[in-house]
Amino acid sequence: MEAVKWYRRAAEQGNAVAQHDLGFSCATGQGVAKDYVEGYKWLLLAAVRVESVKESMASVEGAMSREQIAEGQKLARGFKPRIESASDGENISVPEPFERSNAPRASGTGFFIAEDGFLITNEHVVKDAMHIRLLTREGLIPVRVVKVDSANDLALLKADGRFVPLPIAASRAVKLGGTVATVGFPNVGLQGFAPKLGKGEIASLSGAGDDARYFQISVPVQPGNSGGALVDERGNVVGIVSAKLNASAALAASGESPENVNYAVKSSFLLGFLESVPEVSAELKEPNTKERKFEDVVKSAEQAAVLVLVY
């Protein structure tokens, strides 16, 4: 009980190790009444910076209902660290720069393309990163950049472990109006850490200014979706979600704000990029050729999707 008291005081001030220890104590009832929701909240907060939290999170999630997990995520989103006055222990708000000093400076989405941990995201997501981590089902894991293609906004990363990859199909077979979808992690600070589905159509076979490297898509895209897989109705990757039409530029040019005008790099450019890395291109899955239920397509995309945290 004495240990939990000190864990809590440090955790409320934003100490990630203490948040992990307090979360584990709450979830297991050690020194405090068992509370899965409270424990999960602290584990989520710790997961951003403490890699060892993955084992605790997995065991706790297995004992929780979906409603409890959602409540824990809600509490984590509302958390604000505090510091204590040295004189009387009074809690005061943390200044904004201090509060964010150890937080990721950016986030995006990635997707696995090989079972042994090769994955793809946008180059602009990981540009100038000091280090990068992935938030997976197993917890937080480090990742390294293998190669980038700045011209086409592509980055190949490598994580250690075994994962569920997606097959990549050539984008030349994609038709105008074809149904496409993406699973990603938009606005995690507001919308939470759970993967989000977006579904739409191929709105154009070229991007802004008729750029042939891109599709225009009607799939809803938010900050954090960048780097996510754009999959067709058979679950093949046909693009990589990359950008939105710049609202300021569109307003200045036309006097109107754009509505749901988004872009994805075509998969044919991704395949060309991967040809320069033989050990990866040799591992790629063969594209799916049979019709599939949309629910199965979404499940595959969700299993391959990962949150990319950049520091």
The pLDDT, as a whole number, for residue 56 is 72
Q: Known catalytic residue: 153?
A: yes
The pLDDT, as a whole number, for residue 259 is 74
The pLDDT, as a whole number, for residue 246 is 64
Is 131 in contact with 228 (CB distance < 8 Å)? Answer: no
pLDDT tens, per residue, the chain with 311 residues: 889 889 998 888 888 888 988 988 998 888 888 888 998 899 988 887 776 677 777 788 888 898 888 888 888 888 887 755 444 444 444 444 334 445 788 899 999 999 999 999 999 999 989 899 998 877 789 999 999 999 999 999 999 999 999 999 999 999 999 999 999 999 888 888 899 999 999 999 999 889 999 999 999 999 999 999 999 999 999 999 998 876 666 556 666 666 789 999 999 999 999 999 999 999 999 999 999 999 999 999 999 999 999 98
Half-sphere exposure of 248 (CA within 13 A, CB side): 0
Is 220 in contact with 258 (CB distance < 8 Å)? Answer: no
Catalytic residue among 20, 21, 56, 153: 153
Is 287 in contact with 165 (CB distance < 8 Å)? Answer: no
Q: Known catalytic residue: 218?
A: no
The pLDDT, as a whole number, for residue 90 is 45
Distance CA 127, CA 141 (A): 19
The pLDDT, as a whole number, for residue 102 is 55
- Number of residues that this document lists for the chain: 311
Catalytic residue among 226, 242, 268, 300: 226
Distance CA 36, CA 64 (A): 7
Kindly report the pTM of this predicted structure: 0.67
Structure tokens at 133: 């981590």
The pLDDT, as a whole number, for residue 206 is 94
Q: Which residues 6+ apart lie within 8 Å of 172 measured at CB?
A: 268
Half-sphere exposure of 69 (CA within 13 A, CB side): 13
Q: Known catalytic residue: 131?
A: no
Catalytic residue among 20, 25, 124, 218: 124
Is 246 in contact with 263 (CB distance < 8 Å)? Answer: no
Structure tokens at 261: 């005008």
The pLDDT, as a whole number, for residue 262 is 95
Q: Which residues 6+ apart lie within 8 Å of 166 measured at CB?
A: 111, 112, 113, 229, 231, 235, 236, 237, 285, 300, 301, 304
